Structure 1
């Protein structure tokens, strides 16, 4: 299986969003704007109450919708009524987003593990991507999610998201060099996406020595982009004119 699509063009982090674009993160408009630039998109997925893969980053709805509650408290149909900030975009399922993207450009899906339902969310994502005609890859901080794809859908390109900077959001073992190397080998990952702030490091050099593509996130300045070019194979970027 070719993974060349991982390094051909940069990935817009949650689409092309922000004040300069007029688009909201993880919205269909932001993804379509990235495609129009000739770039791939990176997006986040969480589960709805009825087990659908929803394209959204935060567990809480407050920041982007103004409503109280968590995304897992509502069904996919209910979530489709929530507009994102002051835009006309709404929260959509992964399937709806993919249906409206240009399949010529790759999609990088970060599967969030914050809801602690690795099998359910992995299955939901797979159902939405199994027949997608364009290049697509899944990735996660959480090894149980990657393991599900290895065991149940090994044809899907899969990667590990990693950092060695502990901000308290993830269990301690996820930050150790030994654990990350073990995940790379045991999960037979096709790529790694590493925190730009933590480059270079032993883990990414280990991957490059084994010809495993190294992506990096989130590249927000030209200085960081220069660093990404030196130490990685591709960037997940935001607010840059690449």
Structure 2
């Protein structure tokens, strides 16, 4: 028995060493009375919006780390610059360097080579504003609000275009508009692309779900009409 234990010991060590690394667990929000006036689709849209905005602020932090000269145009620290953009979006305010431009017009200006302001703040603000605009100007939804599936779908395509422009367009001196992804001999860092991919994926899922919701409502009604005669109670005596 002792020899068997010695023989199994290396196998147990290998098994322990190959145990999966924990990556956290799904989190649920505490109940809010606001949910009483939300349908399932309202709730899904609200959660997707929350996660998309969080992703954009995470991207803002990543971009500031690779482009530290940008936040210095806005605030005394990158954290303060992020907070300024949060406030502007939460209060529905414009972003000074973009003038009166909002939505895709603001995004277009933020990605022009000649733009001189904080390009990170302008890019994230304009991206978030375009997503909010696609959702009817709201960040939380209830029973009296709806989401236009085509507008949300268009927002996802705009994100793809913005990623391509950011990766391919150059300033007059030939340097990138912003350093984002890194692919060099030193290593590969595609965290920007992955996080933006999450945003696009959520938008596409919401657009498909919204379209499916109305289609299923029609099908459910038709099923009720067809199955109605077969669902009547029968006499038992």
- TM more than 0.5: no
**Which structure features the higher share of helix residues?**
2
TM-score, normalized by length of structure 2? 0.25
TM-score, normalized by length of structure 1? 0.25
Structure ranking higher on relative contact order (CA contacts 8 Å, 6+ apart): 2
Q: Tell which structure's C-alpha radius of gyration is larger.
A: 2
